[in-house]
Amino acid sequence: MDTAGKNGKQEIEDKDHCLGELDYQGTFCLEKVKRSLAVRIFCVFLLAIPVLEISDQFIRYFTGRENTLGIGILLCGWIVTALVVYWIFNACAGYHVAKLALFAFAAKVVYFILEFNHYNLNKDSILAPLFLIVLFEKIELRSALTEMVTKYRYLLLCLLLISLLPFLNISTITGTGLIRTLGVWGNSKCAAYYLFACIVLFSDAGYLVILPLLVLIIFIGARGVIIAGFLYIMFRTFFFNKGRNELRPKFFTIAQLTVLVIVMSGVLYLGLSQTVLRRVGYSFEPLIFEDFRNPQYGHGRVFLNQIVIGEMERFSIWEWVVGRSATDLGDLYEEFIGSRTFPHNDFMNILYTNGVGGLLLYLYYLFVFPLKKLGHGREKSELIALIIAILILGATTGFYIFYASYLLYARYGTLYGETMSFRKRIDEEEGCGRLAF
């Protein structure tokens, strides 16, 4: 074989080796993808948000000072937001509807600040679709996030276990109120969301890792997260592939699911879910409220949503399109129940604060856009399992309002990268150099 033939063969082998890393490890040729300073800053500040929130719980527990690191969390969030907006207009061709929605939201923010002096507007439900677009378009960002999250997940898990396990003997779980404490957490529901994120991030580690995490979620008693975690594990088990394209044998899948159901049923029976059972046993959340202002009905989820529905009946056409502000929503709840809170339902929250336009944007880019971009195979099946879990979280308590959601957005990006047309995108973005035949 002549020299040219050998070189051509070597280039093909190098290319196949690079694509093999992409297919099996999800590393996206990390050592060959150039990382800009902006991408590194984005990853650092994005992953700093969960660390700061968990650290803030330790400070609150030992010093009694609330929200000490809140400014740092907000600063990280705004840096991440600024970079996403920058990339949307500089690195993402097309997506005119999303860009138009961003302009409309910016105009709405200015209007509510000048007209009503409202500064709290629901930017996170706008940020989430933009974030997913940027992850799809920038292989550089996906590769950096994949690498950092793979390493970062161990730190996150250690912090979570330290915040929960050493303090179990002196913890108090109250299933009858809005606040449940566990370990250093003033509201352990946030910890449940991080545990669910760890289940997703460690989904390749096997049942010995993810099932104990689900048991901790059950112990906390966050019902929506329990259902989401359980179904995510079951669906992922059902769709998991043996090798690249072949499903595991049906009898093996059925055996796995059977064992999983038996184990979880045993956990429930042994009483780790006393909080859940106690809340179900009492009628704290009736389905129908004849009088919003009657205190006997409590502050259940349905009650919170019905307050919002009652107010939306007064919406003008313009308010149905663009919504109101989160400040206005807090004022509404303070008037009815004496405290500022939110509907424990993402879709109701977005409909009130960002209108029908914001809700459609959120639904399309979070649940439809990823499925259209991914092909068939293991990654798309896992994405379906993740989307089902996120839908449950959004409908039962909320998804995007918790900082743990950022970790799951990063997982979306990993799944994007594992099934895209690698040859075209690598040649375009020089992820693996010139690999032409």
* 3-class DSSP string for 375-412: CCCHHHHHHHHHHHHHHHHHHHCCCCCCCCHHHHHHHH
Q: What percent of the chain has pLDDT over 70?
A: 69
Helix, strand, or coil (residue 187):
coil
| CA pair distance 13, 7, nearest whole angstrom | 10
> Is the pLDDT reported for residue 20 higher than 50?
no
Residues 6+ apart with CB under 8 A from 415: 370, 374, 379, 380, 382, 383, 386
The mean per-residue pLDDT over the stretch 30-48 comes to: 79
Computed over every residue of the chain, the mean pLDDT equals 77
Burial of 352 (0-12, 13-18, 19+ CB in 10 A): buried
> Is the pLDDT reported for residue 359 higher than 50?
yes
Range with the largest mean pLDDT of 13-22, 136-145, 257-266, 411-420: 136-145
At 364, is the pLDDT very low, low, confident or very high (cuts 50, 70, 90)? Answer: very high
Q: Which of 150-154, 280-284, 301-305 has the lowest mean pLDDT?
A: 280-284
Higher pLDDT, residue 262 or 392 = 392
Question: Does residue 164 form part of some domain?
Answer: no
The first and second tokens of residue 23, run together, are 């297919």
Q: Which residues span the domain enclosing 256?
A: 188-272
| CA pair distance 177, 199, nearest whole angstrom | 27
The first and second tokens of residue 272, run together, are 């780790």
- Whole-angstrom CA distances from 361 to 127, 334, 367, 417 are 10, 29, 10, 23
Question: Does residue 215 form part of some domain?
Answer: yes
At 205, is the pLDDT very low, low, confident or very high (cuts 50, 70, 90)? Answer: confident
pLDDT tens for residues 53-74? 999 999 988 898 888 899 999 9
Question: Does residue 220 form part of some domain?
Answer: yes
Q: What is the dihedral of CA 96, 125, 387, 183, to 10 degrees?
A: 150
The mean per-residue pLDDT over the stretch 225-249 comes to: 69
Question: Does residue 71 form part of some domain?
Answer: no
Question: Does residue 192 form part of some domain?
Answer: yes
> Is the pLDDT reported for residue 243 higher than 50?
no
> Is the pLDDT reported for residue 238 higher than 80?
no
Question: Does residue 395 form part of some domain?
Answer: no
This prediction has a pTM of: 0.81
> Is the pLDDT reported for residue 50 higher than 50?
yes
| CA pair distance 305, 311, nearest whole angstrom | 10
Instruction: Look at residue 423 in the predicted model and tell me its pLDDT.
Output: 36
Instruction: Look at residue 281 in the predicted model and tell me its pLDDT.
Output: 45
Instruction: Look at residue 245 in the predicted model and tell me its pLDDT.
Output: 45
Question: Does residue 9 form part of some domain?
Answer: no
pLDDT tens for residues 76-121? 999 999 999 999 999 898 999 999 999 999 999 999 999 999 989 9
Indicate the angle between helix axes 124-137 and 139-164, nearest 10 degrees.
Answer: 130
Domains: count for the chain = 1
User: 19 and 422 in contact (C-beta within 8 Å)?
Assistant: yes
Question: Does residue 111 form part of some domain?
Answer: no
The mean per-residue pLDDT over the stretch 282-307 comes to: 56
> Is the pLDDT reported for residue 293 higher than 60?
no
- Whole-angstrom CA distances from 313 to 306, 307, 309, 317, 349 are 11, 10, 6, 11, 15
2-33 burial code (b ≥16 CB/10 A, e <16): eeeeeeeeeeeeebeebbebbeeebbbbbeeb
The mean per-residue pLDDT over the stretch 379-399 comes to: 88
Instruction: Look at residue 171 in the predicted model and tell me its pLDDT.
Output: 52
Instruction: Look at residue 28 in the predicted model and tell me its pLDDT.
Output: 39
Indicate the angle between helix axes 207-220 and 274-281, nearest 10 degrees.
Answer: 40
> Is the pLDDT reported for residue 426 higher than 90?
no
Higher pLDDT, residue 49 or 413 = 49
Q: Which of 16-25, 92-101, 213-222 has the lowest mean pLDDT?
A: 16-25
